[in-house]
């Protein structure tokens, strides 16, 4: 038998911190999803730059609903993170509360988005601006739906007592995904609601 | 023979490992397997099948074009054939074939027991298979994609192409993108996590560099195609205006998005194949690769520059001169890293003692074809020349020299090289040489005259041509050559099938190779390594003869890791032992998720919203089952082993 140069006994088994395979997988998953939004927003800016008339033709969209809904989504991220900090101290009831609150606020954001959709004066088929608006906010909303599903499953598993102070990698990764959905919204919000006001 | 004693194959603990790692018997066990070697072989067989289908499509077109004014095919049939030929070869053969090699080889090369995400690996195969079936499904109703593999708008818009043809293209590309993305992600994380101790980044085989570079690129490039296809599908099905000038859209947006994806993609189709040559060619030159570091860096550089050349597909679209100048210059700069690799291979042959076995012939042939294809690429990188040659057969000749030259020739050489490892038997050498010479002569006979057809002004994608245009001779030669080339590939196919049953036994290291895969039995056991090796150099099996340092790799270490399915995890750069990874058991969840996605995409194609919801529900259930946390993931006693 060869000499032992690897201290086997001192190695962790399936670490759950940033050395875990799951963490690495999530980072690259987020990278490729972020690239998808980069290309969608590239399409927006490309088509805006090629547009002959004023952009958007209906004027800069109102902030009346979009701005509050942005804060709702940010608050949802915050609530989820508050829950994560709870389980890091071993408090799974605080985690459950955080996830429940994040879920409720996320559903609130979705409701506000759908309300705004319903009150637009244009449709996806009106012109290319309408196509861009509904497609890009729609793809984001799909990501919100995925995030809400993740939060819901995490909440159920939390209530089943599956997570402890030592083992809660699912929570960390799921909530990171939720933060990502939040950050994407900031990019979408900036593009659609703020950049038309710059000109 | 190799310099080191290979580990005892049936040593202590091998029976227990066999029990832990082997798939369960029966059909369900086969469907649930997550063994990277099994998945790699499935990828290779499926991709080879698509190569044959795409080849038959090409032969039908060559029959039509052999002489002027033929009417074997209608224009519409011809459109579907050249589109499906391109889609099949580029999307369903070229990258999946390389994924097959990499899936089979990576853990064996890296000294690991599996990929970082074995179940994700199974998912990437199933989704590839189902997406391939999906893309071919509308052939049955005569509505296959028919606007070319790059599917330009407005030709691919609803107005000019009202059938299901383009919808199946758009949805199929998004579907296939799922497979490419999860596969790429798996390669990247595997590289970062599951390597043997000592397998530091400066010791990685070049095919690892090639596949890693291609995978990182795919993660950032594939979303551009998915986005483009989504927008096109919405334009076609829901009256949106992304590519419709009447509603403020721009057809050119499609070209930008497609080629932002497409150009990195063509490098993803060649870099792992160049890696095959960089690793296997030196074995037949009896020396290490010349310029390892330069070749590894050239691999990465090619891709970095490759993200900045997409507009060279669009020189003739009226883009501003400044942009054209930039992209033309970038397209020429990219010749430099390619040349670095070519000179490294030539120097390896020059300074080595070549052994002229079949794989060597294919690799040497590849170098010749790469140079020809590279030069014609450099020519079309020159903007004024491109204006003359774009959309002619010159470009068809160029792209076949690079894609067949840099992908198919290394792949077939690689099949001859690694077949003994995968199957345990040698391929027939005499038949192999025949296959090479027939393929090589047929290939050049088929594709070299295409340059001339193009210079004489023959446009690509015409279903026939008049007799007075001077294209008769070159087209006839091309058609004859294509049949000879197909016969050469056919000889390899026969060789594969016959050798599978009748080949001479290979033994663990028939070529006297230097890398880790040759240290294990042929075929490798389900657990790959009875003991995780500890690596001290780039050539663990050649250390005594090279004698580059006094350090020696340890192939028979004490790293048994037999408390369940386990492998070791190391740090990303230096590969120091970091932790022990519990690996998942076989699972049907990937197959079920793949089937759920298939239901979803067929439902989207026919716009059947309830079945789409059902498909989605299957997907959600499969993912939730897959990812559900176990009640107690790691028993407390496991954490303090020793």
Long-range contact set of residues B492-495: C-beta below 8 Å, sequence gap at least 24: B492/B412, B492/B415, B492/B416, B492/B432, B492/B435, B492/B439, B493/B48, B493/B52, B494/B431, B495/B427, B495/B428, B495/B431, B495/B432, B495/B435
> Which of A32, A33, A135 is closest, CB to CB, to B231?
A135
B240: nearest CB among A125, A149, A162: A125
Closest partner residue to B185 (CB to CB) among A7, A25, A129 is A25
Indicate whether B637 pLDDT > 50: no
Percent of chain B with pLDDT over 90: 91
Residue B534 to residue B556: CA distance in whole angstroms: 8
Cross-chain Cβ contact A12/B249 below 8 Å? no
Which residues contact residue B270 at a Cβ distance below 8 angstroms, ignoring those fewer than 6 apart?
B402, B403, B406, B407
Answer yes or no: is pLDDT of B636 > 50: no
| Residue-wise pLDDT tens digits, B351-385 | 999 999 999 999 999 999 999 999 999 999 899 99
How far apart are the CA of B219 and the nearest CA of chain A, in angstroms?
Answer: 5
The residues that bridge with B392 in the sheet, in sequence order, are B459
Measured between CB atoms, does B124 come within 8 Å of chain A?
no
The predicted model gives B180-198 an average pLDDT of 96
Yes or no, beta carbons of A162 and B629 under 8 Å apart: yes
pTM, whole model, 2 decimals? 0.96
pLDDT, position B504: 96
Dihedral sign from CA coordinates of B504, B506, B512, B513: positive
B343/B353 Cα distance (integer angstroms): 17
| Domain B36-586 fold | Cytochrome C Oxidase; Chain A (1.20.210)
CB contact under 8 A, A43 and B581: no
pLDDT tens across B532-552, in order?
999 999 999 999 999 999 999
Q: Which residue of A has its CA nearest to B625?
A: A153
A118 lies within 8 A of chain B by CB: no
A9 contacts B223? CB cut-off 8 A: no
Q: Is B362 helix (H, G, I), strand (E, B) or coil?
A: helix
Report pLDDT for B642.
42
Asked which of B28-37, B108-117, B315-324 is least confident by mean pLDDT, the reply is B315-324
A58 to chain B, any CB pair closer than 8 A? The answer is no
- Find the radius of gyration of the CA atoms of chain A: 21
How big is chain A, counted in residues?
199
Q: Which of B351, B313, B353 lies closest to B331 in space, CA to CA?
A: B313
A2: number of Cβ within 10 Å = 15
Pairing between strand A12-13 and B566-570?
unpaired
Q: Looking at chain B from residue 216 to 255, which residues have their Cβ under 8 Å from any Cβ of chain A?
A: 219-220, 222-224, 226-228, 230-231, 234-235, 238-242, 244, 247-250, 253
Rounded-to-integer distance, Cα B198 and Cα B196, Å: 6
**Mean pLDDT confidence for B590-598:** 98
Percent of chain A with pLDDT over 70: 96
pLDDT at residue B28, rounded to an integer = 95
B-chain residues near A19 (CB < 8 A):
569, 578-579
Structure confidence by residue, pLDDT tens digits, B550-577: 999 999 888 888 889 999 999 999 999 9
Residue ranges per structural domain of chain A: 61-198
Rg over CA atoms, chain B: 25
CB nearest to A43's CB, from B192, B231, B642: B231
* Residues contacting B87, CB < 8 A, separation 6+: B135, B145, B149, B169
Is B223 close to A39, i.e. CB distance below 8 A?
A: yes
DSSP strand pairing (B566-570 vs B577-582):
antiparallel
Enumerate residues 48 to 67 of chain B having a beta carbon within 8 A of any beta carbon in chain A: none
Classify residue B392 as left (phi > 0), alpha (psi -120 to 50) or beta. beta
Give tens-digit pLDDT for B108-151. 999 999 999 999 999 999 999 999 999 999 999 999 999 999 99
A47: chain B residues, CB-CB within 8 Å: 242, 248-250, 253
H/E stretch holding A39 = helix A21-50
Residue B554: phi and psi, rounded to 5, are: -115, 105
DSSP for residue B569: E
Least confident of A23-27, B5-9, B482-486: B5-9
Quote the pLDDT of residue B640. 47
Residues with Cβ within 8 Å of B461's Cβ and at least 6 positions away in sequence, in order, are: B79, B82, B148, B391
Asked if B1 reaches chain A (Cβ–Cβ under 8 Å), the answer is no
pLDDT of residue A1: 36
Interchain CB distance below 8 Å, B185 and A47: no
Minimal Cα–Cα distance from A135 to chain B, Å? Answer: 8
CB contact under 8 A, B633 and A14: yes
pLDDT score at A3 = 43
Which residues in chain A come in under a pLDDT of 70? 1-5, 199
* Residues 186-215 in B contacting A (C-alpha not used; CB under 8 Å): 188-189, 192-194, 197
Pick the CATH number of A61-198 from 1.10.10.200, 3.30.360.10, 1.10.1660.10, 1.20.120.80: 1.20.120.80
B579–A33: do the CB atoms touch at under 8 Å?
Answer: no
Put simply, the chain A residues between 6 and 35 with a CB less than 8 A from any chain B CB are 6-15, 19, 21, 24-25, 28-29, 31-33, 35
Contacts of B333 (CB under 8 A, 6+ apart): B305
* CB neighbourhood size of A9 (10 A): 9
């Amino acid at each position: 038998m060869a000499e032992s140069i690897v201290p086997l006994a001192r190695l962790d088994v399936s670490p759950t911190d940033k050395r875990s395979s799951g963490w690495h997988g999530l980072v690259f998953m987020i990278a490729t999803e972020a690239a998808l939004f980069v290309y969608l927003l590239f399409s927006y800016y490309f088509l805006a730059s090629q547009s002959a008339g004023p952009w958007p033709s209906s004027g800069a969209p109102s902030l009346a609903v979009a701005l509050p809904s942005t804060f709702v989504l940010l608050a949802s991220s915050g609530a989820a993170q508050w829950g994560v900090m709870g389980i890091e101290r071993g408090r799974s009831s605080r985690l459950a509360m955080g996830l429940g609150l994040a879920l409720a606020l996320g559903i609130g954001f979705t409701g506000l988005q759908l309300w705004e959709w319903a009150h637009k004066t244009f449709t996806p088929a009106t012109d290319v601006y309408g196509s861009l608006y509904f497609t890009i906010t729609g793809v984001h909303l799909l990501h919100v739906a995925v995030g809400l599903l993740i939060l819901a499953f995490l909440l159920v598993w939390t209530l089943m007592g599956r997570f402890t102070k030592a083992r809660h990698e699912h929570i960390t990764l799921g909530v990171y995904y939720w933060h990502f959905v939040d950050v994407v919204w900031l990019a979408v919000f900036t593009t659609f609601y703020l950049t038309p006001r710059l000109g | 023979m190799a310099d080191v004693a290979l580990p005892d194959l049936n040593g202590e603990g091998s029976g227990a490992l066999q029990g832990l790692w082997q798939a369960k018997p029966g059909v369900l066990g086969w469907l649930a397997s997550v063994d990277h070697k099994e998945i790699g072989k499935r990828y290779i067989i499926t991709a080879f099948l698509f190569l044959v289908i795409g080849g038959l499509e090409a032969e039908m077109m060559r029959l039509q074009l052999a002489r002027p004014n033929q009417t074997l095919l209608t224009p519409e049939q011809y459109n579907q054939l050249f589109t499906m030929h391109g889609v099949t070869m580029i999307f369903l053969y070229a990258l999946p074939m390389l994924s097959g090699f990499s899936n089979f080889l990576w853990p064996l090369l890296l000294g690991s027991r599996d990929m970082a995400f074995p179940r994700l690996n199974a998912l990437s195969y199933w989704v590839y298979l189902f997406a391939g079936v999906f893309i071919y499904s509308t052939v049955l109703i005569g509505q296959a994609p028919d606007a070319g593999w790059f599917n330009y708008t407005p030709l691919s818009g609803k107005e000019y192409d009202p059938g299901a043809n383009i919808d199946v293209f758009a949805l199929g590309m998004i579907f296939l993108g799922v497979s490419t993305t999860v596969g790429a992600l798996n390669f990247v994380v595997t590289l970062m996590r599951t390597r043997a101790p000592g397998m530091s980044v400066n010791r990685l085989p070049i095919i690892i560099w090639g596949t890693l570079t291609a995978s990182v690129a795919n993660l950032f490039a594939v979303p551009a195609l998915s986005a483009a296809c989504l927008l096109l599908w919405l334009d076609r099905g829901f009256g949106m205006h992304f590519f419709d000038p009447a509603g403020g859209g721009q057809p050119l947006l499609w070209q930008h998005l497609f080629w932002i994806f497409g150009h990195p993609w063509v490098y993803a189709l060649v870099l792992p194949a160049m890696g095959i040559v960089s690793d296997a060619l030196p074995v037949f030159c009896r020396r290490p690769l010349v310029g390892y570091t330069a070749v590894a860096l050239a691999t990465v550089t090619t891709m970095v520059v490759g993200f900045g050349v997409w507009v060279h597909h669009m020189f003739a679209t009226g883009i501003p001169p400044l942009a054209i100048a930039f992209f033309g210059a970038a397209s020429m700069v990219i010749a430099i890293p390619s040349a670095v690799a070519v000179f490294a291979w030539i120097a390896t042959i020059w300074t080595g003692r070549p052994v002229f076995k079949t794989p060597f012939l294919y690799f040497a042939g590849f170098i010749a074809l790469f140079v020809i294809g590279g030069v014609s690429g450099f020519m079309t990188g020159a903007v004024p020349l491109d204006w003359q040659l774009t959309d002619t057969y010159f470009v068809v000749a160029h792209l076949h020299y690079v894609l067949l030259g840099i992908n198919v020739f290394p792949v077939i050489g690689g099949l001859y090289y690694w077949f003994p490892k995968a199957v345990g038997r040698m391929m027939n050498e005499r038949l192999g040489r025949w296959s090479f010479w027939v393929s090589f002569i047929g290939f050049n006979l088929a594709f070299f005259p295409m340059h001339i057809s193009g210079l004489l002004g023959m446009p690509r994608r015409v279903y026939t041509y008049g007799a007075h245009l001077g294209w008769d001779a070159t087209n006839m030669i091309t058609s004859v050559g294509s049949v000879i080339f197909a016969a050469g590939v056919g000889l390899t196919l026969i060789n594969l099938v016959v050798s599978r049953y009748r080949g001479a036994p290979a033994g663990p290291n028939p070529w006297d190779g230097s890398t880790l895969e040759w240290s294990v039995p042929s075929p490798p056991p389900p657990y790959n390594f009875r003991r995780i090796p500890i690596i001290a150099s780039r050539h663990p099996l050649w250390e005594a003869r090279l004698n580059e340092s006094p350090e020696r790799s340890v192939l028979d270490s004490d790293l048994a890791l037999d408390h369940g399915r386990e492998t070791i995890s190391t740090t990303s750069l230096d590969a120091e032992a970091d932790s022990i990874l519990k690996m998942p058991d076989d699972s049907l969840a990937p197959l079920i998720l793949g089937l759920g996605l298939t239901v979803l995409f067929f439902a989207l194609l026919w716009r059947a919203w309830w079945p789409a919801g059902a498909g989605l529900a299957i997907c959600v259930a499969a993912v939730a089952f897959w990812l559900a946390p176990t009640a107690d993931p790691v028993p407390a006693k496991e954490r303090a082993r020793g």
